[in-house]
Structure 1
Amino acid sequence: MKKEYAVVGLGRFGGSICRELNKEGMEVLALDMDEDKVNEYRDIAAHAVIADSTDESVLKELGLSNFDHVIVAIGDNILSSILTTVILKELGIKTITVKAQNDYHEKILRKIGADHVVHPERDMGKRIAHNIISNNILDYIELSDDHSVVEVKAGDKMSGQTLVDLDIRAEYGCNIVAIKRDKDIIVSPMATEEIQERDVLIVIGADKDISRFEKNLVVEQG
Structure 2
Amino acid sequence: MKKKEYGVFGLGKFGMAVALRLAEAGNSVVAVDSDPDRIDEIANSVTCAMVADIADPDVLENLGISNLDCVVVGVSTDMQASIMATIIAKEKGVPFIVSKAENEMHKHILEKVGADKIVFPEAEMGGRVARNLMGGDFVDLVELSSEFSMVEMPVPEGWIGKGLRELDVRGTYGLNIIGVKHGEVLEVNMNPENPLEKEMTLVIVGKNVNLAKVGVEI
Which TM-score applies when normalising by structure 2? 0.69
Aligned counterparts of 1:106 and 1:145: Cα–Cα separation in 2: 23
How many residues of Structure 1 are paired with residues of Structure 2 in the alignment?
207
Could you tell me how far 1:213 is from its partner in structure 2? 1.4
Aligned to 2:51: 49
* 3-state DSSP of counterpart to 1:121: helix
Aligned counterparts of 2:118 and 2:204: Cα–Cα separation in 1: 24
Aligned to 2:189: 186
Could you tell me how far 1:108 is from its partner in structure 2? 5.5
TM-aligned CA distance change 1:56 to 1:107, over 3 Å? closer
Asked whether the equivalents of residues 154 and 195 of structure 1 are also in contact (C-alpha less than 8 Å), the reply is no
In structure 1, stretches of 5+ residues that fail to align are 216-222
Aligned counterparts of 1:141 and 1:110: Cα–Cα separation in 2: 29
* 3-state DSSP of counterpart to 1:7: strand
Aligned to 1:141: 142
Per-residue Cα deviation, 1:36-82 (whole angstroms, up to 9, x for no partner)? x23431353333222143x4343213321233432211223456434
Could you tell me how far 1:9 is from its partner in structure 2? 1.2
Asked whether the equivalents of residues 31 and 38 of structure 1 are also in contact (C-alpha less than 8 Å), the reply is no
1:88 paired with 2:86, answer no
5 Å-filtered alignment, 1:61-100, equals 61-77=62-78, 80-100=81-101
Equivalent AA in structure 2 for residue 70 of structure 1: V
1:150 paired with 2:148, answer no
Aligned counterparts of 2:163 and 2:123: Cα–Cα separation in 1: 36
Aligned counterparts of 2:63 and 2:38: Cα–Cα separation in 1: 20
5 Å-filtered alignment, 1:1-222, equals 4-21=5-22, 28-32=29-33, 34=34, 37-42=35-40, 44-45=42-43, 46-53=48-55, 55-77=56-78, 80-101=81-102, 105=107, 109=111, 112=114, 114=116, 116-133=117-134, 136-163=137-164, 166=167, 168=169, 172=173, 174-182=174-182, 183=185, 184-186=187-189, 196-197=196-197, 198-214=199-215
Could you tell me how far 1:206 is from its partner in structure 2? 4.0
CA RMSD of superposed structures (Å): 3.9
Aligned to 1:220: none
Aligned to 1:218: none
TM-aligned CA distance change 1:30 to 1:179, over 3 Å? closer
Could you tell me how far 1:134 is from its partner in structure 2? 6.4
Asked whether the equivalents of residues 152 and 200 of structure 1 are also in contact (C-alpha less than 8 Å), the reply is yes
Aligned counterparts of 1:210 and 1:101: Cα–Cα separation in 2: 33
Could you tell me how far 1:157 is from its partner in structure 2? 0.7
In structure 2, stretches of 5+ residues that fail to align are none
TM-aligned CA distance change 1:41 to 1:106, over 3 Å? same
